């Protein structure tokens, strides 16, 4: 009998309370995956004509994926609010405003890949609200460091749809089986290889990188001989890094002094997964990603995520 997502209830101290949310993520994933496969026939490809809070063009599929994810979080009955890349403000779920959990989400990651039928993903994490349950959830509920995260993970919409997640008891990968209409455990207890793999970065920005990153990357290449892969969708690049080893980075540069990736719904969830898989998740100034105290919902941070040796080499730590 294949092991289904409900097995999460057996994992660690928070598995049982996180299970309804992760099952909700699973339902959203199936809907988003099917939407992606049929988008071209429904006129759902292309720009929506709006911008998100980061000033980026929203794709129609960004907006639709966000709606699907929010509906599925609502349907769990356990989520009081969702902070999304696609929403300027925290979305309070009025029907369940006294519930315990707050979810952060990048509903569709790597959306520049949509036009070329490349892989995209969804990234999420869960924290417990800080406000009292009888108060209205507030954006301050989302401003919690990665040390407070109870569950996090991602969905990769590739040739197969995979849900990779952790409730703080290791990382487990589930693959959607269309025949059984279920996510089935396919990659138990994923561990990042300590050596080997690839470095993954948009090297076109190298001349603008700060903090000696250009020469540190040259050192990494010389010392390790790592090959290079870059999909341009964080979910796909992190998934490969988890399975094959190496490092994914999005450093600060002279144009984007805090890098590009968002702390709450990209860096922290992926940092949590990396550490749970035995890897390392760092930002600049010697800060571990999970130790950064967030100041704003849409804050950006530089990230270096991967094996200890590759991350240390990039950061000049010997």
Residue ranges in contact with ligand AHG by CB under 6 A: 56, 85, 106, 109-111, 202, 232-234, 260
**Within its chain, how far is the Cα of 180 from the centroid?**
26
Minimal distance in Å, beta carbon 260 to ligand AHG?
A: 6
Match 């994926």 to its residue by tokens.
65
| Burial readout 8-38 (b: 16 or more C-beta within 10 A, e: otherwise) | bbebeebbebbbbbbbbbbbbbbbbbebbee
Minimal distance in Å, beta carbon 105 to ligand AHG?
A: 10
253: contact with Mn ion by CB under 5 A: no
Residue 202 contacts which entry, ligand AHG, Mn ion, none (Cβ below 5-8 A, type-dependent): ligand AHG
Give the nearer residue to ligand AHG in terms of CB position, either 111 or 216. 111
Q: What residues from 94 to 133 belong to the interface with Mn ion (CB under 5 A)?
A: 106, 108-109
Residue 279 contacts which entry, ligand AHG, Mn ion, none (Cβ below 5-8 A, type-dependent): none
Task: Retrieve residue 27's tokens.
Answer: 């339902």
Minimal distance in Å, beta carbon 150 to ligand AHG?
A: 23
Dihedrals φ, ψ of 159, to 5°? -50, -40
Q: Is the dihedral of CA 283, 168, 91, 136 positive or negative?
A: negative
Candidates 45-53, 81-89, 249-257, 276-284; binding stretch for Mn ion (CB under 5 A): 81-89
Q: What residues from 134 to 163 belong to the interface with Mn ion (CB under 5 A)?
A: none
Minimal distance in Å, beta carbon 232 to ligand AHG?
A: 5
Minimal distance in Å, beta carbon 113 to ligand AHG?
A: 8
Give the nearer residue to Mn ion in terms of CB position, either 69 or 78. 69
Residue 233 contacts which entry, Mn ion, ligand AHG, none (Cβ below 5-8 A, type-dependent): ligand AHG
Give the nearer residue to Mn ion in terms of CB position, either 5 or 152. 152
Who's near 18: CB < 8 A, 6+ residues apart?
8, 126, 150, 151, 167
Task: Please answer whether residues 281 and 270 qualify as being in contact, where contact means their C-beta atoms are separated by less than 8 angstroms.
Answer: yes
Task: Please answer whether residues 89 and 230 qualify as being in contact, where contact means their C-beta atoms are separated by less than 8 angstroms.
Answer: no
Alpha-carbon span 312 to 307, nearest angstrom:
8
Task: Please answer whether residues 108 and 61 qualify as being in contact, where contact means their C-beta atoms are separated by less than 8 angstroms.
Answer: yes
Give the nearer residue to ligand AHG in terms of CB position, either 80 or 270. 270
Q: Residues interacting with Mn ion, by CB under 5 A?
A: 85, 106, 108-109
């Amino acid at each position: 009998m294949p092991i289904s997502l409900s097995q999460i209830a057996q994992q660690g101290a928070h598995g049982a309370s996180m299970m309804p949310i992760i099952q909700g993520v699973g339902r959203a994933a199936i809907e988003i995956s099917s939407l992606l496969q049929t988008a071209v026939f429904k006129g759902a490809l292309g720009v929506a004509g709006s911008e998100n809070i980061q000033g980026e063009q929203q794709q129609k599929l960004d907006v639709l994926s966000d709606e699907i994810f929010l509906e599925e979080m609502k349907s769990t009955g356990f989520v009081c609010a969702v902070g999304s890349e696609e929403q300027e403000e925290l979305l309070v779920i009025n029907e369940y405003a006294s519930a315990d959990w707050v979810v952060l989400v990048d509903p569709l990651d790597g959306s520049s890949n949509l036009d070329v039928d490349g892989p995209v993903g969804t990234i999420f994490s869960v924290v417990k609200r800080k406000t009292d349950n009888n108060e209205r959830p507030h954006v301050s509920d989302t401003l919690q460091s990665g040390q407070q995260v109870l569950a996090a993970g991602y969905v990769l919409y590739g040739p197969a749809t995979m849900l990779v997640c952790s409730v703080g008891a290791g990382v487990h990968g589930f693959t959607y089986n269309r025949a059984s209409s279920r996510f089935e455990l396919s990659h138990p207890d994923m561990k990042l290889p300590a050596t080997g793999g690839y470095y993954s970065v948009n090297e076109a920005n190298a001349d603008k990188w700060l903090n000696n990153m250009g020469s540190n990357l040259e050192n990494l290449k010389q010392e390790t001989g790592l090959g290079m892969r870059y999909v341009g969708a964080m979910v796909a690049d992190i998934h490969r890094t988890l399975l094959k080893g190496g490092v994914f980075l999005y450093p600060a540069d002279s144009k984007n002094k805090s890098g590009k990736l968002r702390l709450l719904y990209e860096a922290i969830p992926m940092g949590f997964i990396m550490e749970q898989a035995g890897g390392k998740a760092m930002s600049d100034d010697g800060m571990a990603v999970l130790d950064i105290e967030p100041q704003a919902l849409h804050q950006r941070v530089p990230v270096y995520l991967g094996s200890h040796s590759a991350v240390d080499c990039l950061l000049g730590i010997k």
